[in-house]
Amino acid sequence: MLRYSLRRLIIGVGMLVALSMLIFMLLRLTPGDPIDAYIDPNLPMSPSDLADLRRNLGLDQPLPVQYLAWLQQALTGNLGYSIKRLDQPVLGLVLSRIGPTVLLMGTALAFAIVIGIACGVIGAVRRNSLADLSLSVVALAGISSPAFLSALIGLYIFSVRLHWMPSGGMLTPGEEFSVGDLLHHLILPASLLSVAQGALIMRYMRASLLEVLNQDYVRTARAKGVLEFWVIAKHALRNALLPIVTLIGSTIGLAIGGAIFIESVFNWPGMGLLLVDAVQTRDYPVIMGATLVIGTCVIVVNLLTDITYAVVDPRIKVG
């Protein structure tokens, strides 16, 4: 078990280094550098100003030198300074964004799990009923609508039209912090983010429960005269949930993709917004830092899922 985990851990670290190299190379293959992003073509700047800036930022060095310098610093925990905002160290910037993203994704995940499992159970138990049919249609729409679309529709209905929800941000500007205010800002983006994941969980839950309901032991339980409620709640549900746990782990990546859209639409100050902003302004140090942190999260989640799986099912270790 320990050897298995260690091996997975070493592979994870190797993947991170490879990821950093890949991102660095890909970024530099695109034409232009951060200095080019500094220039508004409508308001030209003098070339000697730009040359000075480029030199100050070390962008005049050859690429391998720049990468090694970055790696050397990164190993000591220093991810450099943002180019767009020189007064912000990348590490601090990235760390300050993890909280909001985890909060948003955690809430969305909780919504997705609760709604997905509840609807999946209804669908399976009331198979082919009107409720099942309508939930299936809703789930299909949920799975197939991209995050940015549902975000814009949600924003329009609940914020612009109904004025129920703020149109963006995490807290009301200028007001003291309060949990209510935070929740008020959190609910709309979190529910919209949970749509696709919730729909997916629902579909899997329904299929998984239907399968379990046909098993012999369920029939046995029913034959013994156990109340139908307990048949489902105690016998069927527990077994049907197992594949769902795996599914949730593997959809974290999906949620991160959705979070990037949701965060930019709702101005949620998380990793996604930071990354989008950094890409637009070619802020290399921030792109590298944010990607590495997101990459680390995905690798860690996968590692944990694998280890949990290995604990649950000892046969995994063989593979």
Partner 1 sequence: MKRLSRLSTIALGVLLSTAAVPALVVSGAAAQAATLSGGFDVGPGGFQGNFNPLAATAGFTWLSIYYEPLITYDQKLQKVVGALASSYEVSPDQMNYTFKLADAKWHDGKPFTGKDAKFTIGLAMDAKTGSVLAARLKGISSVETPDDHTVVIKLSAPSSSFLDTMTKVMMLPEHALASIPADQLAKSTWWSATPIGTGPFKFTKYVSDQYVELAANADYRGGKPALERIINRHFANPAAAIAALRSGEIQFTYVDSNDVPTFKDNKDFKVIEGNSFVVNYLGFNHDSPIWKDVRVRQAVMYAINRDAIIQSLYGGAAKPANCAYVAEQLIPQGIDTYAYDPEKAKKLLKDAGWDQINGGKPITLLTYYTTPLATNVLAAVQAMLAQVGINIVPRAVDAPTYNSIVLNATPDIAQFQMVYAGLQNGPDAGSINVGLNEKQIPPAGPNVARVRMPDLTKALDSALAEPDSAKRDAAYQDVCKVMNTNLPWATLWVANRYGIVSTKAKDFVWTPAPGGGPYQAAPQKWSIAE
Q: Which of residues 269-298 bind partner 1 (CB under 8 A)?
A: 269, 273-274, 276-277, 280, 282
64 near partner 1, judged by CB under 8 A: no
Residue 91 touching partner 1 (CB under 8 A): no
Question: Among 3, 46, 130, 223, which residue interacts with partner 1 (rule: CB under 8 A)?
Answer: 46
Q: Which of 19, 93, 196, 201 binds partner 1 (CB under 8 A)?
A: 93
43 in contact with partner 1 (CB under 8 A): yes
- How far apart CA 136 and CA 120 sit, in angstroms, is 9
User: Where does this chain touch partner 1 (CB under 8 A) — which range of 1-9, 184-192, 209-217, 247-255?
Assistant: 184-192
Tell me if 52 contacts partner 1 by CB under 8 A. yes
Using CB under 8 A as the binding rule, whether residue 314 contacts partner 1 is answered as no
CB of 10 to partner 1, least distance (A): 35
Distance CA 262, CA 153 (A): 12
CB of 93 to partner 1, least distance (A): 8
173 binds partner 1 (CB under 8 A): yes
Of 71-79, 138-146, 153-161, 296-304, the window that binds partner 1 (rule: CB under 8 A) is: 153-161
Closest CB 314 distance from partner 1, rounded Å: 33
Q: Which stretch binds partner 1 (CB under 8 A): 19-27, 68-76, 208-216, 225-233?
A: 225-233
Residue 214 binds partner 1, judged by CB under 8 A = no
